[in-house]
Structure 1
Amino acid sequence: MVVKGGFSRSIHNLHNLELIHFSQRTTILIFLIIKIFPAHHCQHGTRVMVAMLYLRTNAAPKMPVSVISFGNAQLNNLVVRFIQNTEGTKITDFITEAPPCNSLNIPNYILNIPANALFNDAGTLMGWIMGST
């Protein structure tokens, strides 16, 4: 799993990193982007943040399987249009009538990462580590 956090990079630039991480030269199965937008784009100290989860095993690995806006401010309409039009993905966000992300364990904001992809061949790897000691 690769997790890429972005503050100064655009969401479009971060999305394009999927091509590198899911290339034929890697065995990466999960790619997670956390985009943190600058505070000056928001009012009253709020911040917009977006998580985009990509899976190599997805029928269309270039499209995120989940996009969650989990900041305490709404996404800019240009970003929403990029995600919905370019990615063809629905966004979980309080602009789509979900409650604001302002406490723990709100179901709309829980990102499910498939354990089988996260721990791919973990048993084989652990056996090799334990056998080599």
Structure 2
Amino acid sequence: MTSLKSQAGVSVLQALVAMLLFAFFLTVVLRLAPTYMEGRSVQATVQSVVDSSNISMSLGEVQKKLTNAFITNQIEAITVKDVKVYREKRVIIIDASYEDRTPLFDGIDAVLMFDNLKFEIE
């Protein structure tokens, strides 16, 4: 049988610090997850427009498809006016890159950058 002096456990202070760290990271994840998921939704929406378009379409037609897709998927993080659609060397480029600011705590914001949203229609 072991004595009480040789037994070790978590002190109250260590448990409090562990709970505070867990609460901090849980708060950060819960605040950033919706913004991140919206960014993934924007990426999937623009990719679906790219997949259903072809090079012979006009820029206006591509813009209209984007508008309809944004309305259908309820994209609110970015507007269609913020998406750049242009021709370059026989391809249509759709650049939907943006950044979103999310408040974490009082006076502290997190900026999520979605700069991998540049697609080509060939």
TM, length-normalised to structure 2: 0.31
More helix by share: 2
More strand by share: 2
| Higher Rg of the two aligned structures | 2
